[in-house]
Amino acid sequence: MTQEFTAPGPLIALRVHPPTPNSGQVYTDVQNAIAEVCLKEGWPAPAPSQVAVPLAHPPQP
Backbone phi and psi for residue 49, each to the nearest 5 degrees, phi listed first: -125, 145
Using a cut of 0.75, tell me whether the model's pTM lies above it: no
Q: What is the CA radius of gyration of the chain?
A: 18
Residues 9 and 56: their CA atoms lie apart, in Å, by: 37
Q: Is 19 left (phi over 0), alpha (psi -120 to 50) or beta?
A: beta
* Residue 53: pLDDT over 80: no
pLDDT one-digit tens code per residue, 13-29: 778 888 888 888 998 89
Confidence check: pLDDT of 3 > 70: no
- Regarding predicted confidence, which is higher, 21 or 4? 21
Q: What angle do CA 52, 12, 51 make, to 5 degrees?
A: 0
The predicted pLDDT at position 48 comes to 63
